Structures are given as C-alpha cells and as structure tokens.
C-alpha cells in the first residue's frame, strides 16, 4: 500500500548511535526529522565497551539519566599484553570520569532511538529506502516498511548506515579502505562470578584477540553474561588459513595464554560469527544535499576503542552544521562551513592513521607477519637501491587495501629497466594523489613478493 507524500527537513538513514544522535539534536533544534532503521532493535547486537569519557556526550544529548537506569555493567579498565607477554593495565578509576561500561548494544541503540522519538523525531523501524531522486527543492525518497510504502520529500539526507554506506554508495561517494580487517567472534558462557571485568587485548601472529564480559544474546546457561571473544585478522588470512573453522579458530585461541586464563578450560566455539572491522574514509563526506556521519564517514581500527564515542560526537557535530545550513541563506558561509568540516574530517583521519601506525609498531614479535607489516608502515627501502622487475613479472595475486589506490602494474612498469627507488617514487604518476609513503610501501611489498628484485649496481668502466 502506498501513501501520499510527506515533507521533512532531514531524513536520516540508519538508526545506530550516529544516526540517533544526529536526529535527536536536530529535533531539539525544531527541525522535522525522521530515522529509517532496518531493524526493530529486537535482534541481538554484539556488545562493546564504552569509555568513561563518553558520559559527557551522553549528558550533552540529554540521555545520561536514562543510560544510568539501563543498568549496563561497569567496566573498570583495559588490559593488554601488547609488545610483550606482560599484561599491562589501565584502570579507569584513575581517570577523572570513573568507570566505563560493557554495553548491552541492543538496549543502548533502542534507548537512543526512543530518546529521539521523545524529542520529536519519527523513527521508522523495519524500514528501507528506495533509490533517492534529487530535485531543486531537495530529495524524494520512497520509504518501505512491512506492508506499506511512503513517498517522502526531504531537504537533506544523512547517511548513518556505518560501514555499509547504504546511501552514499548510491550517490557516487568514493571510499578509501586502508585494510580488510574482520572480527571473527564467538561467545562462551560465564557460570561463576568473575572478578576481572577488564577488556583484554592479546596479539597473535595473524592478528589479535579481544575479550570482554558482555550481555548474552540468549541467556540460557544460568548466566546473563558471556565472555565475548573476537579475533581481529585480515580477510585474506581468514580465507588462506580457514580461520572461520571453529577448530582452527580454537587452535589459535589456545596460543593466547592471557585470554585462555580468563576462559578457564579450553573452550570450543559452536559458531564463529564474522563482522567487518576495517579502517576506511570517504574521500568526500558531504555532497549535494547529503552528509555522512559516524562510521559511514570514517571507520577506525577496533583497537582505538572509540567507535560509539566517535559516532555520538559525529552526530552532534553534523546536527550543528545541518541546522546552520538549513536556517541560513548565506551560500558563501554555508560552503565555508562544509569546507571546514571536510578539512577537519581529513585531518582527523590522517592523525588517526599516524597514531594507529605508532601503536602497531610497538608490537615487534612477528616482524615478517603480513598482518603486522603494513600496519606498522615501517620503511626499510634504501632510496639508492636499484630495482628491476623480475622476468615475466605480473601484479601479485594479493594487493593490500593499505596500498590502494596505488596500482601495482604501474610500479612494475616503472621497473622494466633498473632504476633507483628514489627516482621511481619521485616520478610516479600517482605521487600527488597518494603521497610518497604508499609508493615506498608498495615497492617493499613487491620486493617481498619477489615481483621486483634489486639489480646489481653498474660497474665502473674505469680508465682504458
């Protein structure tokens, strides 16, 4: 059944933390806003640990008291055996904000959506949008829910669909991926009270394990909490080593001694779930009548433990920008505000990549491990090395996302004749777009893959 057209100021696609924070702020600013959420907030969602400092964002959104009443389990710190076998701890009680929380994500997201509704936003659950159509006045979108479809007009669209980027991918936005990390996860029942409520990170050769005590999806074991354990690894390593096999995954877990200590007897998972965990950034986070927020705009490595806090902050900032855009007729000022938002987006992500490289560089136990090598962004190539393509060289079967959009064929072509590495970098056609570092890392990768080799220096002919 189709209904007549309704008019909105903003349509937000995606009802997670970023989308709900955006809608909540916009509704309180007096704008008409609706959220299109594909679920009913009833299905289990993988939990997450929320840092203590997030309280300020929840207070700003006016949902802190509701959050307190929700009864999320306290988290008292983070622990890691990063760079050595020694477990190092960071106790939240020594921060100005006190403890953090192990979230029941299903309830957290549902509570945010309910808060947005109380503020005046409309939330369409179990809903999806059809292809949006741009017009001089804004957008026309068909919103489909079970048994009905409504044509909606909106002055502006917000994509808050996370890594799926369900809206902006249709609008031609381009994304840069910096790895292909996956989370391979399973849950183990907790049958006895536990004293260790810390989140634990423990590296292994093909990635790192994360574990925390989180709400059970279906409490049926006498406890409403489980040890949620995830292996963060790369998609190609997952395929190559069959890491989704419970037996293989369990074998890797047995080598993570700190994680095994908290699980007790050697567990065998019944099922291995998979979720995307890659780092990515939109080249342009806004366009003609649309804006991306949260993980849709930029997703970070789970090691940063900042996903929800960034999502809430992104939604708050986006709502402020949108309110000014829709209330101001000053085209120049609006363009300046959007340019400033884009510049901040790029600067923040560049800073994140540098910080990520520093953290991964601290772990040196597997210097030749594929998972670790590119994340550390370590440059070992001598600029004076003379590189040459090996006979019959072709692009390697695997090319890391960290190196995209660098074209390996262009590097191979540049080395058909022996050339100094510094000269290849300085004259490469993609240099201006992607910078020197990625070209150098690409040359290093091709050397390790034996696609390129080092040519002997030319002999000095000397006097006759």
pLDDT tens-digit profile of 153-174?
A: 999 999 999 999 999 999 999 9
Q: Are residues 170 and 196 in the same domain?
A: no
Average pLDDT, the chain: 90
The whole-angstrom separation of Cα 439 and Cα 430 is 8
Burial status of residue 238 (CB atoms within 10 A of its CB: 0-12, 13-18, 19 or more): buried
- Predicted confidence band of residue 195 (pLDDT cuts 50, 70, 90): low
| pLDDT-wise least confident of 90-94, 146-150, 184-188, 346-350 | 90-94
The whole-angstrom separation of Cα 278 and Cα 291 is 21
Q: Of the candidates 395, 403, 400, which has an alpha carbon nearest to the alpha carbon of residue 371?
A: 400
Residue 132 lies in a domain: yes
Residue 315 lies in a domain: yes
- Supply the pLDDT for residue 43: 83
Cα 181 from chain centre:
9
| Residue 71, C-beta contacts closer than 8 angstroms, at least 6 positions apart | none
- Supply the pLDDT for residue 461: 52
- Supply the pLDDT for residue 2: 43
Residue 228 lies in a domain: yes
The whole-angstrom separation of Cα 216 and Cα 49 is 14
- Supply the pLDDT for residue 295: 96
- Supply the pLDDT for residue 266: 65
Tokens of 96: 């100005």
| Residue 5, C-beta contacts closer than 8 angstroms, at least 6 positions apart | 140, 150, 151, 152, 153
Residue 434 has pLDDT above 60, yes or no: yes
Q: Of the candidates 447, 375, 378, 377, which has an alpha carbon nearest to the alpha carbon of residue 411?
A: 447
Mean pLDDT over 389-416 rounds to: 91
Q: Are residues 141 and 41 in the same domain?
A: yes
Residue 92 lies in a domain: no
Residue 88 lies in a domain: no
Q: Are residues 37 and 161 in the same domain?
A: yes
Q: Are residues 162 and 194 in the same domain?
A: no
Q: Are residues 23 and 157 in the same domain?
A: yes
- The DSSP element (H or E) to which 329 belongs, if any, is none
Q: Are residues 144 and 10 in the same domain?
A: yes
Residue 186 has pLDDT above 60, yes or no: yes
Residue 189 has pLDDT above 70, yes or no: yes
Q: Are residues 291 and 261 in the same domain?
A: no
Mean pLDDT over 259-285 rounds to: 87
- Supply the pLDDT for residue 57: 96
Last residue of some domain: 276, 293, 322? 276
| Residue 391, C-beta contacts closer than 8 angstroms, at least 6 positions apart | none
Residue 87 lies in a domain: no
- The DSSP element (H or E) to which 40 belongs, if any, is none
Answer whether 217's CB lies under 8 Å from 259's CB: no
Reply yes or no: is the peptide bond before residue 165 cis, omega within 30 of 0.
no
Residue percentage of the chain with pLDDT more than 70: 94
Reply yes or no: is the peptide bond before residue 76 cis, omega within 30 of 0.
no
Residue 64 lies in a domain: no
Residue 328 lies in a domain: yes
Q: Are residues 193 and 307 in the same domain?
A: no
pLDDT digits (tens, 9 = 90+) for 22-53: 999 999 999 999 999 999 998 877 778 898 99
- Predicted confidence band of residue 378 (pLDDT cuts 50, 70, 90): confident
To the nearest 10°, the Cα dihedral for 70, 73, 75, 81? -130
Could you give phi then psi for residue 273, rounded to 5 degrees? -85, 165
Tokens of 15: 């009802």
- Supply the pLDDT for residue 317: 95
Residue 368: how many other CB atoms lie within 10 Å: 8
- Predicted confidence band of residue 459 (pLDDT cuts 50, 70, 90): low
Q: Are residues 257 and 329 in the same domain?
A: no
Q: Are residues 308 and 226 in the same domain?
A: no
Last residue of some domain: 309, 327, 361? 361
Domain count within the chain: 3
Mean pLDDT over 197-201 rounds to: 90
Structural domain boundaries enclosing 301: 2-47+104-175+280-361
Q: Which CATH number goes with the domain that contains 223?
A: 3.30.9.100
- Supply the pLDDT for residue 458: 60
Tokens of 155: 């002055």
The whole-angstrom separation of Cα 322 and Cα 22 is 9
| Residue 448, C-beta contacts closer than 8 angstroms, at least 6 positions apart | none
Q: Percentage helix, strand, coil, to 5, in the chain?
A: 35, 25, 35
The whole-angstrom separation of Cα 160 and Cα 428 is 37
Q: Are residues 12 and 135 in the same domain?
A: yes
| pLDDT-wise least confident of 88-92, 93-97, 102-106, 389-393 | 93-97
Q: Are residues 127 and 32 in the same domain?
A: yes
Last residue of some domain: 241, 276, 311? 276
Q: Which CATH number goes with the domain that contains 323?
A: 3.50.50.60
- Supply the pLDDT for residue 3: 47
- Supply the pLDDT for residue 332: 84
- The DSSP element (H or E) to which 213 belongs, if any, is strand 207-215
Greater confidence (140 vs 218) lies with 140
């Amino acid at each position: 059944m189709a209904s007549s057209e309704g008019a909105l100021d903003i349509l937000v696609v995606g009802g997670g933390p970023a989308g709900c924070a955006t809608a909540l702020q916009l509704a309180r600013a007096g704008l008409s806003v609706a959220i299109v959420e594909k679920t009913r907030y009833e299905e289990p969602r993988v939990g997450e640990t929320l840092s203590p400092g997030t309280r300020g964002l929840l207070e700003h959104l006016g949902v802190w008291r509701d959050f307190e009443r929700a009864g999320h389990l306290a988290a008292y710190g983070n622990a890691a055996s990063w760079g050595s076998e020694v477990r190092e701890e960071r106790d939240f009680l020594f921060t100005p904000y006190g403890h953090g929380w192990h979230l029941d994500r299903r309830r957290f997201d549902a509570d945010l959506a309910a808060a947005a509704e109380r503020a005046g936003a409309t939330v369409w659950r179990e809903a999806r949008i059809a292809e949006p159509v741009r017009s001089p006045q804004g957008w026309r979108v068909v919103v489909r829910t079970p048994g009905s479809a409504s044509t909606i007009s909106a002055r502006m669209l917000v994509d808050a669909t996370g890594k799926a980027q369900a809206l902006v991918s249709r609008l031609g936005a381009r994304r840069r991926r910096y790895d292909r990390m996956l989370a391979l996860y399973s849950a183990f029942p907790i049958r006895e009270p536990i004293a260790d409520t810390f989140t634990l990170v423990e590296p292994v050769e093909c990635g790192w394990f994360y574990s925390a005590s989180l709400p059970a999806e279906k409490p049926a074991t006498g406890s409403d909490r489980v040890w949620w354990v995830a292996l963060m690894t790369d998609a190609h390593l997952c395929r190559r080593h069959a890491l989704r096999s419970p037996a293989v995954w369990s074998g890797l877990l047995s080598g993570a001694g700190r994680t095994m200590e908290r699980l007790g007897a050697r567990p065998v998972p019944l099922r291995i779930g998979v979720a995307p965990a890659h780092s990515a950034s939109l080249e342009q986070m806004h366009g003609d009548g649309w804006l991306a927020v949260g993980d849709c705009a930029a997703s970070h490595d789970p090691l940063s433990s900042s996903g929800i806090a960034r999502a809430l902050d992104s939604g708050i900032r986006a709502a402020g920008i949108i309110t000014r855009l829709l209330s101001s007729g000053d085209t120049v000022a609006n363009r300046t505000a959007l340019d400033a938002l884009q510049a901040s987006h790029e600067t923040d992500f560049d800073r994140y990549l540098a910080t990520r490289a520093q953290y991964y560089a601290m772990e040196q136990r597997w210097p030749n491990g594929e998972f670790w090598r590119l994340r550390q962004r370590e440059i070992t190539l001598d600029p004076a090395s003379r590189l040459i393509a090996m006979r019959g060289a072709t692009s390697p079967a695997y090319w890391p996302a960290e190196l995209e959009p660098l074209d390996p064929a262009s590097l191979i072509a540049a080395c058909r004749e022996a050339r100094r590495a510094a000269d290849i970098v300085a004259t490469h056609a993609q240099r201006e777009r992607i910078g020197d570092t990625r070209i150098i890392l690409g040359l290093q990768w091709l050397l390790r893959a034996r696609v390129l080799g080092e040519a002997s220096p030319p002999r000095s002919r000397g006097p006759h």
